[in-house]
Structure 1
């Protein structure tokens, strides 16, 4: 692994795609939960629903653009040329490399995700296409990582695809909820909608976290080659440790909301308890941003077992 401008650019774009994809997934879920109330012109939930819709479009747009820039950096890195010259290498990368095939799947899913997010109606076909696009993006992103070393139709690819999906559900709900949607439900007239949405967010996040931990443990064991030494002495292992610390911090904050702030909010429906839930969710969102950045660095680092030879 050579840390230079191209590597930093790749990691930055990968981190941006991670965050944008999660934002889009979380916003789609929150928008679906708020649609029944928010679609009404006069509704306390309308502001939050509109934020979820805008966040979905923004996340999908950023995902498409960041994917394009990442491919340019990747082409430059693979060919050993500068960014301007890499433009001419892109067609070869797309047509003749595994990276090109995997990127095309992820990018195609991102484009469909953007188009469906721009659709004015909320029909069954639109929703089906949206979630198929989400799965395509997750599969493409998984195939761009170290799991691809095991082959295009391997258990490692399947496990990592699931990991990308559930991480984006958990992280996306936290990011879109904590940084945009839930604060828009802060008025007293929207308190009932906030309590219901907070409960849905907490329950779905809990299920997603279980799968995140299971699939993450599989990926970590595979990357370390089953050796703790690989985690202790390799750069990859140190980055993994940092990511686990950030995940633990997010888990603690999410746990505080679930076992303390949310039950109090349900009992009192007070403004103070609503603010407490929102503030803790905001801190959890900041921790999740760090998790997604660390995940991007891991994906562009030499696995622990390879570093040990």
Structure 2
């Protein structure tokens, strides 16, 4: 990989896409979990429900903007033009490259998501919202190396599942630890925190299983089955660091599930609630690192290519 300013800009925008999409998905889940309790103005879940809504709207807006800027950087990279002049080749990239097609799917989903999050709540709105999230994930997956095997390929299908599951795991952690769960720390909201923490843990555990299964496939494909691709390439080094952060996130999530949550259910104390939220806050920071490294990997030459 050539770490020039153009590459850095592409990675920065890709990382922002990863984080904002995961935040949107996680916020949508919290919005669904807290919707019924949060409708009443006097409910202890009201503040958390409003935070979930605001987080969803903000992340959807950031996602649309990040995808637009990413396309400009990608057009400059493909054409060899300097960044300001890349505006003139955007239409060509969209019409004549697989990147343009994949980006159109991702951006279309993100744009529908942005419109939907400001619409009135209802079954139709919720259905469109989840379809938009899935479409965005499919487009994002096609922007990576998985599309090398073609749009109608098992590799792309599995990578789409990987994007969805990884975003669900990181999203409930980030949106929870950084936005929603801290306002459920009061004694009056303790029951809602306990119920929501169980939902977070169950979604995270299910998503982790899918992440590990699809991640193993992606890693084997990226290395070509050779351990040398991990140790002798920059791509492999980044992957190893990412795996280390994933392992740390698993440890933190495991601690919350095995230690903090049982204590929270048993004692329902302020100290137990604070401990659970603090750990998920730390896990959220680790997850941001994982998503940034995922963007670096997507813009780096896979190890198996460097191995020939």
Partner residue of 1:237?
A: 236
Aligned position for 2:31: 31
Aligned partners of 2:90, 2:261: CA distance in 1, in Å? 49
Q: C-alpha deviations, 1:152-208, integer Å up to 9, x for none?
A: 100000000000000010000000000010001011100000000001000110000
Q: CA deviation at 1:108?
A: 0.2
Q: Which residue of 2 aligns with 1:46?
A: 46
Q: TM-score, normalised by structure 2?
A: 0.99
Q: Secondary structure at the match of 2:177?
A: helix
Question: SS at the partner of 1:49?
Answer: helix
In structure 1, how many angstroms separate the alpha carbons of the residues matched to 2:284 and 2:120? 29
Number of aligned residues: 308
* Equivalent runs, 1:54-133 vs 2, <5 Å: 54-121=54-121, 123-133=122-132
Q: Residue in 2 aligned with 1:272?
A: 271
Find the aligned partners of 1:260 and 1:100 in 2 and give their Cα distance.
47
Q: Distance in 2 between matches of 1:155 and 1:262?
A: 38
Q: 1-side partners of 2:113 and 2:243: how far apart?
A: 30
> What's 1:290 paired with?
289
SS of structure 1 residue aligned to 2:100: helix
Output the CA distance in 2 between the equivalents of 1:3 and 1:250.
28
How far residue 58 of structure 1 moved from its aligned partner, in angstroms, is: 0.5
TM-score with structure 1 length normalisation? Answer: 0.99
Mapped to 2, the partners of 1:227 and 1:39 lie a distance apart of 54
| 1:16-72 superposed Cα distances (whole Å, 9 cap, x missing partner) | 000000000000000100000001111000000000000000110000000000000
Query: Residue 99 of structure 1: CA displacement?
Result: 0.3
For each residue in 1:106-125, what CA deviation from the matched residue of structure 2 results, as whole angstroms up to 9, or x when unmatched?
Answer: 0000001111111122x111
Unaligned runs of 5+ in 2: none
Q: CA deviation at 1:83?
A: 1.0
Q: Deviations over 1:255-303 (max 9, x none)?
A: 0000000000000100000000000000000000000000000000000
The answer for the alignment partner of 2:248 in structure 1 is: 249
Q: Which string of whole-angstrom CA distances, capped at 9 and with x for unpartnered residues, describes residues 204-259 of structure 1?
A: 10000000000000000000011111111111100000000000000000000000
Give per-residue Cα distances to partners, 1:108-159, cap 9 Å, x unaligned.
Answer: 00001111111122x1111111111111111001100000111110000000
Return the alpha-carbon distance in structure 1 between the equivalents of residues 42 and 82 of structure 2: 54
**CA-atom RMSD in angstroms:** 0.5
Aligned to 1:159: 158
